[in-house]
């Protein structure tokens, strides 16, 4: 698949409606289930700690009634009568309350420590899950999604869960326990004042719901816009040379400003409504406190003899403190609203990625090392250089070993990246063991697409592809791809030593085998001239190396893999003519006795192919050897000589 053109946006993850209550609840339930499934024991301890800390706080508030009515008031009366006040009971009571407060503080500390572990563990586990699932996704997913947007899921979206898990979840549970405990105590102190408080709480909940509905829909938009902006930045960084060569800086800045402005708008709207919730609820809480103080004072003064309405001074002080304790959790929950909604928006995008359908693999034929014992082909754990297909028949369970020869047939194959637009039409290819098959044609003719089908990066719509007489759909994809060494036009090098980059082709290769592969690709000489030789660390995808050197490392990587068959997609396109001659001899050694598929624009590199296939608009228009095609004086003749046929 060709890379997307500059300025053309690949699909970012689709926006979903975060203001859909059912979907938001489903996302929250799934996230909560993921956390509780892995950290169930930890959360049980956290919730026990929360209960202890809440009860410690409530008993301290309830003690205010006893403090005024049972200790201070009697002691004041004693002093007014000229008697000596006894402070011992008061000291014991205060010590008992202080002990409960210390227990609550210890519980809060323990809760915080545990939640740090749960939070970071959840983020670690999610990143592992995302990466593991990403590795199972088909190539099509990465062709249709901006890489920077995918990166944003790992960073921004996962990070949105940090505050929600560490603070919001515990705060919500803490608030629920606090509200229940405080409500019970409030009813025991004064029913009328409790009803006043509940009426104000109803107003607070209505305001919170209204503002939350307005802000919620913008938070997912914010995460989506952030992913798009990251994707654009990643694309511009990768294509910075192209930007500068074509003086595209001004246009790039304009496009970035447009994306950044969109992110600003969604972020502004999301936070504008969400940040209003807490101060509004705070003022409503103050109003509730004032109303209770006024009503409570009237009841304490005028209703001393009415059982249901009477209120002592200590009860009023305790109730007003409970009023604060009752409205405070609602304020705290509203304060956490930003992080909760952002986390749900991030979780939505995370689950969208995790719900992407993995690459299907129903194959059961595997590639194994083999050897002959008493004239019979058998499997072995040793690397013998002889490969075999291990075919376990599904009906009988009988195991059959068939030598891997490199016989590939494409029979009347039709393919399209989408079902409504075919790019290959009735393609027939016959590659015999050890043959070199070359594909030539104009850009976009379908050459690379054919090799992608051989690798099963994509599955065909119609026709058959057989490898050594086996339908490739029956071969496990990992084993199919292990049998096909690939050298791509664009070399991908990783941030590691040159030794490890070559060893990437076969992780169990020894240093000697790596060096031998480098020599085969004529890369050994330039590697030894580097500061640390084979231990030189490659950075920025090998930006300090020339295109030719990078390509030779890719060829060495394929050589160390020692695959039964090869696919060379413009393998020498970035190598100068002198280096190409050096590499071509090594490539011929590498291709010896291997079926090889070669894509080339330099027709001089495919002259010795057993069969050259000429493609045009996804259709084979010519096939034959170099000499046969020149005699036909068709499209190949035109490409090779530059003359009209």
Please tell me whether residues 297 and 177 are part of one structural domain: yes
Instruction: Confirm whether 360 is domain-assigned.
Output: no
Answer yes or no: is pLDDT of 38 > 70. Answer: yes
pLDDT digits (tens, 9 = 90+) for 81-106: 777 777 788 788 888 888 888 988 99
Find the CATH number of the domain harbouring 50: 1.20.1560.10
Higher-pLDDT residue of 550, 208: 550
- 6 in any annotated domain: no
pLDDT on residue 359: 86
pLDDT given at position 561: 86
Q: Which of 132-146, 153-167, 426-440, 535-549 shows the highest mean pLDDT? A: 426-440
Weakest mean pLDDT among 57-61, 248-252, 627-631? 57-61
Q: Are 340 and 208 in contact (CB under 8 A)?
A: no
Q: State yes or no: pLDDT of 567 exceeds 60.
A: yes
Pairing of strands 611-616, 619-624: antiparallel
Q: Verify that 518 and 606 share a domain, yes or no.
A: yes
208, 231: one domain: yes
pLDDT at 16 over 50: no
In the structure, what pLDDT confidence band is assigned to residue 204 with cuts at 50, 70 and 90? Answer: confident
Residues 139, 268, single domain; the answer is yes
Mean pLDDT of 587-604: 79
Q: Let me know whether 346 and 434 are in one domain.
A: no
Please indicate, yes or no, whether residues 628 and 578 belong to a single structural domain of this protein: yes
Q: Which residue has the higher pLDDT, 512 or 302?
A: 512
Amino acid 18: pLDDT: 45
Could you tell me if residue 138 is inside a domain? yes
For residues 522 and 526, give the distance between their C-alpha atoms in angstroms, rounded to a whole number.
8
Predicted confidence band at 12 (pLDDT cuts at 50, 70, 90)? very low
How far apart (Å, rounded) are the C-alpha atoms in residues 536 and 297? 81
296 in a domain, yes or no?
A: yes
- What band does 307 get if pLDDT is binned at 50, 70 and 90? low
In a domain, 166, yes or no: yes
For residues 524 and 512, is the Cβ–Cβ distance under 8 A?
no
Residues 439 and 306 in one domain: no
Residue 201 within any structural domain of the chain: yes
Per-residue pLDDT averaged across 351-374, rounded? 89
Spatial separation of the C-alpha atoms in residues 52 and 43, rounded to whole Å: 14
Percentage of residues of the chain with pLDDT beyond 90: 15
For residue 1, pLDDT over 70 is answered with no
HSE-CB of 274 using CA atoms within 13 angstroms: 21
pLDDT band (50, 70, 90) for residue 612: very high
Do 335 and 389 belong together in one domain?
no
Nearest residue to 145 via CA among 230, 76, 32, 31: 230
Name the range with the highest mean pLDDT among 79-88, 244-253, 257-266, 319-328. 257-266
Residues 68, 154 within the same domain: yes
Q: Cβ(253)–Cβ(199) under 8 Å?
A: no
Give the CATH number for residue 564.
Answer: 3.40.50.300
The dihedral built from the CA positions of residue 279, 282, 288 and 289, taken in this order, carries a sign that is negative
Positive or negative, the CA dihedral 219, 220, 226, 229 is: negative
SS (H, E, C) 443-484: CCCCHHHHHHHHCCCCCCCEEEEEECCEEHHHECHHHHHHCE
Do the domain assignments include residue 497?
A: yes
Cβ atoms of 344 and 18 within 8 Å: the answer is yes
Same domain assignment for residues 371 and 332: no
Residues 439 and 503 in one domain: yes
Mean pLDDT, rounded, for 100-129: 90
Vertex 512 angle, CA 506 and 513, to 5°? 35
Average predicted confidence (pLDDT) for the chain: 82
Question: Is the per-residue pLDDT at 192 higher than 60?
Answer: yes
The number of domains in the chain is 3
- Tens digits of residue pLDDT in 393-415: 877 888 889 988 889 999 999 99
pLDDT at position 149 over 90: no
470-471 vs 462-467, strand pairing mode: antiparallel
Domain annotation covers residue 295: yes
Closest CA to 496 of 530, 559, 540, 527: 540
Q: How confident is the model at residue 308 (pLDDT cuts 50, 70, 90)?
A: low
Indicate whether 329 pLDDT > 60: yes
Predicted confidence (pLDDT) per residue in 504-517, tens digit: 888 888 999 999 98
- CA distance readout (Å), 149 to 161, 243, 357, 374, 509: 18, 21, 18, 57, 35
Residues 197 and 339 grouped into a single domain: yes
DSSP labels, 553-564: HHHHHHHHH--S
What pLDDT is stored for residue 4 in this prediction? 38
Q: Would you state the pLDDT for residue 216?
A: 66
DSSP code string of 481-504? HHTEEEE-SS----SSBHHHHHHT
In the Cβ-directed half-sphere of 229, how many Cα atoms lie within 13 Å? 19
H or E element that contains 274:
helix 249-302
Give residue 464's pLDDT band: very low, low, confident or very high (50, 70, 90).
Answer: very high
* H/E segment holding residue 412: strand 408-415
Beta strand 611-616 pairing with 436-441: parallel
Closest CA to 222 of 353, 356, 354, 338: 338
Is the per-residue pLDDT at 7 higher than 60? no
Residue 374 domain boundaries: 366-401
pLDDT tops 70 at residue 572: no
């Amino acid at each position: 698949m060709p890379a997307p053109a500059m300025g053309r946006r690949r699909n970012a993850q689709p926006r979903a409606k975060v203001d859909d209550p059912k979907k938001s609840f489903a996302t929250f339930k799934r996230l909560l289930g993921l956390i509780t499934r892995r950290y169930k024991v930890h959360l049980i301890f956290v919730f026990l700690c929360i209960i202890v800390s809440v009860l410690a706080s409530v008993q301290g508030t309830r003690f205010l009634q006893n403090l005024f009515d049972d200790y201070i008031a009697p002691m004041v009366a004693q002093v007014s009568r000229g008697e000596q006040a006894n402070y011992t009971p008061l000291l014991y009571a205060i010590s008992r309350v202080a002990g409960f407060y210390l227990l609550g503080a210890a519980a809060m500390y323990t809760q915080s420590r545990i939640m740090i572990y749960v939070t970071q563990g959840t983020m670690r586990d999610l990143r592992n899950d995302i990466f593991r699932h990403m590795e199972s996704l088909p190539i099509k997913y990465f062709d249709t999604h901006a890489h920077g947007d995918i990166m944003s899921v790992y960073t921004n979206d996962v990070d949105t869960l940090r505050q929600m898990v560490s603070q919001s979840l515990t705060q919500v549970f803490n608030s629920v326990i606090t509200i229940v405990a405080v409500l019970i105590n409030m009813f025991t102190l004064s029913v009328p004042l409790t009803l006043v408080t509940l009426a104000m709480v109803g107003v607070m909940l209505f305001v919170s719901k209204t503002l939350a509905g307005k802000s919620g829909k913008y938070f997912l938009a914010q995460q989506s816009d952030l992913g798009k902006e990251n994707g654009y930045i990643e694309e511009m960084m990768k294509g910075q040379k192209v930007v500068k060569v074509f003086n595209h800086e001004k246009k790039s800045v304009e496009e970035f400003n447009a994306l950044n402005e969109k992110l600003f708008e969604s972020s502004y709207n999301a936070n504008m409504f969400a940040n209003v919730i807490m101060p509004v609820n705070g003022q409503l809480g103050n109003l509730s406190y004032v109303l209770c103080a006024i009503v409570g004072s009237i009841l304490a003064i005028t209703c001393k003899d009415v059982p249901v309405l009477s209120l002592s001074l200590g009860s009023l002080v305790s109730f007003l403190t409970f009023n604060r304790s009752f409205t405070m959790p609602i304020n705290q929950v509203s304060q956490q609203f930003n992080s909760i909604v952002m986390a749900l928006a991030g979780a939505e995008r995370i689950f969208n990625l995790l719900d992407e359908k993995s690459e299907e693999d129903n194959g059961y034929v595997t590639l194994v090392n083999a050897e002959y014992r008493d004239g019979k082909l058998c499997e072995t754990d040793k690397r013998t250089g002889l490969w075999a297909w291990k075919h376990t028949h599904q009906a009988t369970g009988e195991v059959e070993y068939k030598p891997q020869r490199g016989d590939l047939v494409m029979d009347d194959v039709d393919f399209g990246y989408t079902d409504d637009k075919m790019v290959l039409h009735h393609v027939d290819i016959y590659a015999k063991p050890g043959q070199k098959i070359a594909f030539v044609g104009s850009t976009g003719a379908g050459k690379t697409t054919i090799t992608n089908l051989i690798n099963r990066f994509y599955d065909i719509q119609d026709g058959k592809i057989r490898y050594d007489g086996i339908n490739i759909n029956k071969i496990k994809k990992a084993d199919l791809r292990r049998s096909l060494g690939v050298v791509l036009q664009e070399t991908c090098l990783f941030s590691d030593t040159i030794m490890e980059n070559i060893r990437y082709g076969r992780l169990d290769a020894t240093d000697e085998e790596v060096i031998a592969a480098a020599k085969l690709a004529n890369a050994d000489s330039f590697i030894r001239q580097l500061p640390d030789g084979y231990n030189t660390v490659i950075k920025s995808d090998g930006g300090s190396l020339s295109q030719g050197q990078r390509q030779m490392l890719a060829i060495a990587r394929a050589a160390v893999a020692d695959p039964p068959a090869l696919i060379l997609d413009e393998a020498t396109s970035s190598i100068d003519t002198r280096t190409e001659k050096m590499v071509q001899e090594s490539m011929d050694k590498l291709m010896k006795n291997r079926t090889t598929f070669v894509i080339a624009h330099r027709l001089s590199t495919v002259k010795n192919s057993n069969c050259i296939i000429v493609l045009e608009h996804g259709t084979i228009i010519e096939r034959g050897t170099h000499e046969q095609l020149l005699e036909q004086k068709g499209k190949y003749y035109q490409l090779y000589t530059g003359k009209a046929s």
